[in-house]
Structure 1
Amino acid sequence: MTFDRRTLLALPLAAGIAPAALLSDAAGQSATNGSVSRGARLAGDPVWPPAERFALWPGIPAGAPTPLPRPRPMITGRPGGYRDVQMRGVVQPEVGVFRAARPDGRAVLVCPGGGYSITSLRNEGIDVARVLNGFGITVFVLSYRLPGEGWADRANVPLSDVQRAMRLIRANARRYAINPETLGVLGFSAGGHLAGSLEIHHGLEVYRPVDAADRLSARPAFAGLMYAVSNMDPGRSHGGSRAQLLGPNPDPAMQARYAIDRNLRSGDAPLFLVHAEDDDTVPVANSLDMLAAARRVDIPVEAHILRRGRHGFGTRLPASSPGSLWPQLFDRWMREAIGPEAPL
């Protein structure tokens, strides 16, 4: 969905921020279809959707509620400070495409977090894409449906979107100049749980096939899980993510299905884990459990446990923090994970 002028005027903005100054992209967009004209934007500010993107489903996805969720984009932050772009009310999920200036064939699908109640599209999407583009990586940012907004089969809705995104990217690999065999996934917080769900359930049938793309594999070549939720256990994980994904009276079978750490199997994709010990939103035990589970079933895993960083840091840790180097580590680990035999 596109932020238009009417939507911007309705946003709960911090005092003193002019709506027209909030969203822009380098290329600009025409004023058709409700998008904000180039002249109304300031260079360097975040935009969603980017100029290049694609929808996941033809029309409204199956299982839509009546009435449909109301799109509710928000700009967070204070004047002069960091401003995130957050989304609620996703009716038609889509993928933003961020191409590297010098692409090397590698690609990753990014799943922003937000407790399954929002998606943090700038902090854990756009900004991540811009950093990884610098390493030659083509990045796809997923704006997925939120399970607590009335969709049928709520617990499987995000997994349906991420599976479909992987298949559509692979179906159009030539267009994006990527190697479809080395496409991986990177997720943050609840988006990390979604990336982990793809890791273990890439072949699970959670939606009715739409077209030829659905004959392709949704298996990621690797999975990066950043301060990720690893399970749906009450009192052990993140209560907000559990409540949004599973609802007020969770089905035990769904709770077991979405325990990522307990469903890892030998042969699953290599894992890259980053978590801060002082995270008071998603306990670091979630990543420690993933590390232990991966070692039990002999999945290649690399884990970086930071002393400090708290939660939701994206790419914004200070340069003095060791954790600020995670994108460089991820870049090098990715090359190792996909293997020298995989052409880029």
Structure 2
Amino acid sequence: MIRTLTTLFVLINFLLVLPVAGQESVVNVWPGDPPAWEAPEGAEADTTGPDGRQVAGRDVIRLGNVSTPQLYLYPAKDSETTVVICPGGGYSILAWDLEGTEIAEWFQKHGVSAAVLKYRVPTRNQSPRWKAPVQDIQRSVSMIRSGVFESLPSEHVGVLGFSAGGNATAHAATATERLYDAIDERDEASPVPDFAALIYAAYLNEGGKESMELADGLTVSKDTPPMFFAHAFDDRINCLGPIALFSKLKQNGIASALHVFSTGGHGFGGRDTGEAKDAWLSLCLAWMKDQQWVD
């Protein structure tokens, strides 16, 4: 009986330390405190309530009060590209599984390494609200590109973001400078991603939903990396924002791809619902292959 209980205890402890669904490890983005910001007083927690939103019949993990940015690594065998994934959540929370870990697992399964970025929130009431998350993205890109992670390829580093995470991704891709002072040798590597994928990205246009003017802080030049867009026509976040950014990329000769699906609404993630928008992940991967970031 004692031997049986001992074996069971060892087995339970072994299972508790197993990585989740191919995830290799979790690392802090900053070696100490992140750049100055208005940090929340409460502890990080899943804020999903009993009446929380469901997508494809399943709940969505809503992480709130994130003060310690971290990268969750999902390496893929023989991969040449790493995609940094930024969940959405209105700069208030992070839709952690729907727009984070589930997407990383999909890319990993299809031979592309991924890293889910748990960036700082909430920043919705800060000005600009995207600054702290963009700092976290820039630091993550520099870390991966510097080769600090042996399991993640540094040859091609892209960023993929949803909703507010897509907004932060757009700012990271169009930034003309690093938004924090370099702190170590990791920051000697460029913080600019090789490409960006914006999935129902929010807050891209200025002056109202119907505006074709880019939001403050977004500028496109011939040095801006290529972008992939996926949006739904019936999204409450008007698709004219991504279209406005795409048009600027076109004017500057930046090879990009734009997909606006007739239905899908907002916040569908990568879960299948039988609609045409379910194809966006495969379309994104095909685009990456066309650009020779994926073999």
Same fold (TM over 0.5): yes
How is 1:49-64 mapped onto 2 (pairs within 5 angstroms)?
52-64=25-37
Task: Name the residue aligned to 1:256.
Answer: 216
After TM superposition, give the deviation of residue 99 of structure 1 in Å: 2.2
**AA partner of residue 256 (structure 1):** D
Structure 2 match to 1:38: 16
Q: Secondary structure at the residue paired with 1:186?
A: strand
Q: Deviations over 1:151-198 (max 9, x none)?
A: 7975421111100011111223660241x2311111111111111111
- Residue of structure 1 equivalent to 2:248: 293
Q: Which residue of 1 aligns with 2:102?
A: 127
1:177 to 1:60, Cα distance in 2 relative to 1, 3 A: closer
The whole-number CA distance in structure 2 between the counterparts of 1:234 and 1:228 is 16
For residue 324 of structure 1, report the CA deviation from its aligned partner: 1.2
Q: Deviations over 1:178-224 (max 9, x none)?
A: 1x2311111111111111111101x4232121110011101111111
Alpha carbons of structure 1 residues 150 and 291: separation in structure 2 relative to 1, 3 Å = closer
Work out which of the residue numbers 115, 134, 155 in structure 2 matches 1:181. 155
CA 1:265–1:83 in structure 2 vs 1: closer, same or farther (change >3 Å)?
same
Aligned-partner SS, 2:186: helix
Q: Which amino acid aligns with 1:129?
A: A
Query: Residues 114 and 191 of structure 1 are in contact (CA less than 8 Å); yes or no, is this contact kept in structure 2?
Result: yes
**Aligned counterparts of 2:261 and 2:125: Cα–Cα separation in 1:** 37
Query: What do the CA deviations read for 1:41-70 (whole angstroms, capped 9, x no partner)?
Result: 9x98x99xx661110112322325477443
User: Residue by residue, what CA displacement relative to the aligned partner does 1:294-328 show, whole Å, maximum 9, x if unpaired?
Assistant: 1111111111110111111111132x322212111
Instruction: Confirm or deny: 8 A CA contact 2:35 2:132 kept in the other structure.
Output: no
Q: Which moved more, 1:127-136 or 1:330-339?
A: 330-339
Q: CA deviation at 1:78?
A: 8.1
Out of 88, 94, 114, which is 2:70 matched to? 94
- The answer for the alignment partner of 2:288 in structure 1 is 334
Cα 1:308–1:154 change in 2 (3 A) is: closer
**In the TM superposition, what are the counterparts of 1:43-192 in structure 2 within 5 Å?**
52-65=25-38, 68-75=41-48, 77=52, 81-100=57-76, 102-146=77-121, 148=123, 155-172=130-147, 175-178=150-153, 180-192=154-166
Conservation of the 8 A alpha-carbon contact between 2:173 and 2:224: yes
Give the letter aligned to residue 156 of structure 2. Answer: T
Quick one: which of 225, 230, 236 aligns to 1:269? Answer: 225
Greater helix fraction, Structure 1 or Structure 2: 1
Partner Cα distance (2:277, 2:35) in 1: 40
| CA RMSD, 1 decimal | 3.3
Structure 2 letter corresponding to 1:191: G
Say if 2:186 is the partner of 1:213: yes
Alignment partner of 1:278 out of 222, 234, 240: 234
Change (3 A) 1:111 1:174: closer
Cα distance in structure 2, aligned partners of 1:325 and 1:92: 33
Instruction: State the secondary structure of the residue aligned to 1:308.
Output: coil
Choose which of 252, 255, 266 in structure 2 pairs with 1:311. 266
Q: Over residues 92-138 of structure 1, what are the superposed CA-to-partner deviations in whole Å (9 max), with x where a residue is unaligned?
A: 110111123x3422210011111111111100001111111121001
Q: Distance in 2 between matches of 1:216 and 1:63?
A: 22
- C-alpha contact (below 8 Å) 1:63/1:151 kept by paired residues: no
TM-score (norm 2): 0.83
SS of residue in 1 equivalent to 2:150: helix
**In the superposition, relative to structure 1, how do residues 148 and 69 fare at CA in structure 2: closer, same or farther (>3 Å)?**
farther
Instruction: Give the number of the structure whose residues are more often strand, by fraction.
Output: 2
Query: Structure 1, unaligned stretches of length 5 or more?
Result: 1-27, 32-36, 238-254
Please say if residues 277 and 284 of structure 1, whose CA atoms lie closer than 8 Å, have aligned partners that are also in contact.
yes
With over 3 angstroms needed to count, the CA separation of the structure-2 counterparts of 1:333 and 1:66, relative to structure 1, is closer
